[in-house]
Structures are given as structure tokens and as C-alpha cells.
């Protein structure tokens, strides 16, 4: 599959393998994409930090950029959890004022030559 996938991203190759049945069909596997509500990533942030199970950095070009921005995600998560633990009067939406930091290192990694 690698040799005939020039110019395609990983997600596109996987989608083609699912659609065309390819190896996945030959192995008798059932595959589906995960809802980004629970699995946040740099390609698309989850809207609700309260339900995120994992964060992936597939859209970054380099390991250095992935690590830098994953550190930012960790700081965001700690900030979110700290705000969540503070007592407030009355009902509140813990994600109302929360947003993930921009993935600057990841974005910039695509503008550097390796």
C-alpha cells in the first residue's frame, strides 16, 4: 500500500483501505474512526475537555514539535483540572471558559525544512 499512496496522508490511506476493504477486509476486521469528542488531537481539538481520554499529535511533522505542543496540552489539562476542583456556587459548565492552547510548534514544523 505504501508504494501506491504517494501524496496521501495517513488518514486518507486508512480510509481507502477501509472503503476498498483491502487488507482490513482480508483480515475480517471491522474498523471505524473514533469520535474526536473523546480522542482529541492536533488536527482537531475536542470541544469538551471533561470527556477527553487521550490526545494525539499525528498532524505534527517532527517529534520535537509533538513534544513541545504535548507539554502545552499537559499544562492546559492541569489548568482545567485545577479550575474544575475550585468550588463555585450553583451549577456551572466546567468547559465553558476552557480552550486548548494553539499547537504552535506543530504548525510551525510544517514551515521548516528538514
Predicted pLDDT at 95: 55
For residues 28 and 66, membership in a common domain is answered with no
pTM above 0.85, yes or no: no
Decide: 37 and 46 in contact? Cβ < 8 Å.
yes
Domain range for 18: 1-33
Residue 83 CB-density burial (10 A; 0-12 exposed, 13-18 middle, 19+ buried): middle
Range 26-60 burial, b when 16+ CB lie within 10 A, else e = eeeeeeeeeeeeebbbbeebbeebeebeebebebb
Q: Give, as one character, the DSSP assignment of residue 103.
A: -
Predicted pLDDT at 105: 93
The predicted-structure confidence for 32-67, as pLDDT tens digits, reads as follows 777 767 778 887 888 788 888 888 888 888 899 999
Counted domains in the chain: 2
Predicted pLDDT at 1: 45
For residues 60 and 26, membership in a common domain is answered with no
Amino acid at each position: 500500500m505504501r508504494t501506491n499512496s504517494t501524496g496521501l496522508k495517513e488518514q486518507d490511506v486508512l480510509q481507502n483501505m477501509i472503503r476498498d476493504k483491502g487488507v482490513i477486509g482480508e483480515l475480517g476486521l471491522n474498523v471505524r474512526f473514533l469520535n474526536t469528542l473523546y480522542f482529541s488531537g492536533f488536527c482537531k481539538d475536542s470541544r469538551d475537555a471533561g470527556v477527553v481520554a487521550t490526545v494525539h499529535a499525528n498532524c505534527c511533522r517532527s517529534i520535537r514539535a509533538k513534544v513541545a505542543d504535548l507539554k502545552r496540552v499537559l499544562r492546559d489539562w492541569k489548568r482545567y483540572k485545577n479550575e474544575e476542583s475550585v468550588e463555585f456556587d450553583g451549577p456551572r459548565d466546567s468547559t465553558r471558559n476552557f480552550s486548548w492552547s494553539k499547537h504552535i510548534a506543530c504548525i510551525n514544523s510544517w514551515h521548516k525544512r528538514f
